[in-house]
Amino acid sequence: MKILLIHQYFLEKNDGGGSRFNEMARLWAGEGHEVTVIAGMVHYNTGKKPERYKGKYFYKDLQFYDGVDVMRCHVSESYNSNFVGRLWAYFSFVFSGIWAGLFLVKKKHDIILVTSPPLFVGIIAYVLAVFKRLPFVFEVRDLWPESAIDTGVLKSKPIIKFAYWFEKFIYGKAKMINVLTPAFRDKLIHEKGVPASKVAFIPNAADFSLAEAQVVNFDSVAFRKTAGLEGKFVITYVGAHGVANHLEQLIEAAALLRDTEVVFQLIGGGMQKKMLQALVAEKGLTNVIFRDSVPKHEVFRYILASDMGASVLKKVDTFKTIYSNKTFDYMSCRKPVLLAIDGVSRELVEAAECGVYVEPENAGDIAEKIRGLLDKPELLKEMGDNGYDYAVAHFDRVVLAGRYLGLLRCARNEVASLRSQ
């Protein structure tokens, strides 16, 4: 099958961040399928273009992986400046993505797959679907515009009104919709009126291959010493430092844990990082370490050398519906999860018995729960092992990639059948 994937944030090789579709595309290509990706040039954490894209509107990366071609398209570097800048970054990709799909991507495809957020990438999928006479599958990784409204990123009433209208429009035009959590499925069916027969549930997945590759000959004691973490109880957060993540809660907890050996290690970038660094300096904290984004294979070493992994988000109702990507990375590394996200993420961690739930934005509860684990290495190991076993049983990326391929085949075949009648 020939798949056209539209993903604004498709990662560079070995880049840090959510690599769901990097791994999916690689696995599909490994089975003999062809994947073409229309992607943006700007990383969602840094908001910057790599040097090789400077001055270019398009960059064709043939054989990004064997069987995977990537067409990088212009995205404005205003992404992390302010709301207007971010909105322009979204629409600059819409325009460049449509142009690339119509005039630069020469291969013929069987189906289009588009993943959101941002919601507006659906415009690219719809336009290309019309001109190329192809069905498209729309994936919901995050409820948008709800998450943008709840975090205060989206405030303009006309834009909110347009976003809700377009959401309904794109759900109607998609042949199938895949959601990443059962809460998303319920929301689409019971509140947004999407037919149940149109909604599939293929969740995020754990990448055991990258984690397990680091275990061989990995000396966590030596790594801790080199990283300045020797003798510390290390809690690592990997991901964006943005408004939605609300990492202030970890910094407030760090202030309450000054008298312990607890260290919070925050790896990544984003529009709030400088503010967070200033907050740490203002409080005079020495138990918060900031690190820049690191390649995906390397970030697993930091996780493996930690005592816990943190998954945190702002305390808003919309985030009760999501699974945090990084939770699966911690599970694949056998590390217990410090979870400050209520809802389905809490249900997952409690069902797997792989971590501790803390009330989001409650620094006192975070600090108290951490203190309760400091002298319990056996419990930490048990939770880590539980998470790994649960992820193997329910969230193996190889298995889920096969299910996703089945979904794409079904959508393609249904359209082919209708056309032949």
Tens-digit pLDDT profile for residues 111-121: 999 999 889 99
Thinking of the domain 2-205+396-416, which architecture would CATH place it in?
Answer: 3-Layer(aba) Sandwich (3.40)
Cα distance between residue 227 and residue 178, in whole Å: 40
The highest-level CATH class for domain 208-394 is: alpha beta
pLDDT at site 215: 61
User: Which of 7-21, 244-258, 296-310, 327-341 is the least confident region?
Assistant: 7-21
Q: What is the pLDDT of residues 170-218, one digit of tens each?
A: 999 999 999 999 999 999 999 999 999 999 999 988 877 666 666 667 8
Alpha carbons 18 and 325: distance in angstroms, whole number: 7
Residue extents of the structural domains in the chain: 2-205+396-416, 208-394
Closest CA to 123 of 107, 106, 103, 102: 102
Q: With beta carbons less than 8 A apart as the criterion, state whether 36 and 107 touch.
A: yes
Distance CA 34, CA 205 (A): 22
- Residue 311's H or E segment, with its range, is strand 308-312
Strands 58-65 vs 68-73: parallel, antiparallel or unpaired:
antiparallel
Q: Which residue has the tokens 């840090």?
A: 16
Q: Say whether pLDDT at 241 is over 80.
A: yes
**How many Cα atoms within 13 Å fall on the side-chain side of residue 50?**
12
Same fold across 2-205+396-416 and 208-394: yes
Nearest by Cα to 166 from 189, 129, 137, 192: 192
For residue 417, pLDDT over 60 is answered with no
What's the pLDDT tens digit per position in 61-94? Answer: 988 888 999 999 999 887 666 667 778 888 999 9
Predicted pLDDT at 125: 97
